[in-house]
Chain A
Amino acid sequence: MTTTTTFEQANSDQKLKEAYFTASQGQLIWARFKSDRTAMIAGFALIFMILLGILAPPLSPYDPSIAGRDKAYENGAPQIPKLWDENGFSFRPFIYGTSRIRSAKTNFRWVITTNRQDRRYVHFFVKGWEYSFLNFSWDFPGETFDVNVKALTFSTHLFGVDKGGVHLFGTDASGKDIFSRTLHAIFTSLAVGTLGVLISFVLALIIGGAAGYFGGRIDSVLQMITDAVRTVPAIPLFMALAAFIPDEWSSEMRFFFISVILGLVGWPTLARRIRTHLLTERHQEYVLAAKLCGASPNHIIRKHLLPSFTSYIIVDLMISFPYAVRSETALSFIGLGLKDPVNSLGSLMQNVSQADVLLNYQWYFIPVIFFIAFVLAFVFVGDGLRDAADPYSDKSK
């Protein structure tokens, strides 16, 4: 059509156009998402953090539980590896050795001093504490059903030092490495969030789906149930449940329980969204066209309704995730959720509100930064997805 362009350019223009014309909705959404810079940056950050969480064990030089604590370095400040100091350059990053003393002069508080002459070199791919990727045991009543799995066991870690400890984010009051704890906390929060969102999603899909698809009386009844569940106030509910949790429950059981509760409390919002999507889509003309061919409800749901809201649901899930993580964090922070020594971002922040910490051990706040970044990344990605998935709105007259 445009005679002023060269043949090759016209050809490649044509190829681009053809690609655009034959692009499915998924591909178009991805293309739009890619062009949103904020969302892409947030996406990478999110993937990075998720990887950090999943690969927490190999990345952490120390066992985040009490077993890995460094008695000689309690409440220690972060140790940042250096490449260069007044004694010269070194290809291998190093940190300084530390020692601690306590005396009358320091008011009987442990004071840690660094020895700048004592270089401890950081090595990579060192052998450290053992961890396994698949490690769980289910304790069922009776002996026969107990499941004990321990697989994929390794003991290589990304970095470590030859002597003493390397604590990138410092340590807490009992000497546990905050860096390791943070990484494991990301994983825990992710896991709790995922499980919670999954449970809400399944419930929301069934209830919201039925309400939206069938409409009428079924819709009214389900709506009443949804609203009833939604009006239950969350904090008192959690307090009651927290009181109910027996102390002897293992942290895994606690964890599972919290996730289930989050899921059960979070489904109404999602259900309402699904219902709205369905109600709109049901009345689209192309659905009527399918009905006029005698399509069964199954066919309509599968071929028209489900694909239509897959993109929206992915967006909704993305946006619900930070809510689940925030809820767990908030709960753990006020002591109703996961407690020390379990690592979750919330439990890590439990100690943060003491004055002592605020004045002296500011590095306790580092997990807070991670938490904020984590939630923000989800939110930006969710927003980006929503903008990209938004109206398949063609310009009508």
Chain B
Amino acid sequence: MEGATRPPERYRIVVRGRLSERLGSAFAQLRLERRPGRTVLSGSGGRAAAQRVLDRLCDLGLEVIGVDVFADYDRLVAALKSGDETAFAGLMDAYNSSLLRVATIYVGSRAVAEEVVQETWLGVVRGLDRFEGRSSLKTWIFKILTNTASTRGARERRCVPFSSLTDDDGSPLDPDRFFGSDHDRYPGHWSVGPTPWETPEEGLLAGETREVILSAIDALPPSQRAVISLRDVEGWSSADVCDALELSEGNQRVLLHRARTKVRCALEGYYDAVELTAA
């Protein structure tokens, strides 16, 4: 997002083996932790800072076995509590898209969702003094959102059942697409296989296919829509989604599976229709 500031981040790089004292001193500004067979280097900064360290490690011929960049919640919370406006702006910019998408599921209209998100941030500001936790900042903000949204949703007389698995409207893949297990030659095989898509050069998000995807997401049952929005559209980790939506790992995966299958089916339907009109 242009102009958006990122909340403070930290990175962690895992290197195989031990760093000699001499090499270790080249990374004096980082924290080094020795583990069996490996060394963990951590420092503040985001992807760019991590990349600079990776480049130096590569030059030294060291083997990198893992890299991780994550929000530095400790610093962020401290900055917020001390009234750092840039930190607050960065936090809003990082989360508004996710908050808006989930709020829209609860209240239906985008305009009302924007009000809900504003109320959520006001709640965050009011609650900052009392906020103690660190790694649950994201979960805490989302709790405020879901509380605000469901109160507003109830007022608008929309009922959003977030019951995880019962909002299923059947398998999106027509069972007739496959031969039965009793078929002579191809039991369980595709009877009508998927046709390769002629994706335009500009990609699936060009023109009509983008609308197909957006409509497909809108049509999903609430919990499937929430999971696919946070996981695939917003890029949240599975752990964060399970926390925010209070789902088990298994349930979350089932919802994600159903949602993805439906969106793919919608695209398939679009491409099949395009082929028919072209023929």
Whether A associates with B in a native complex is no
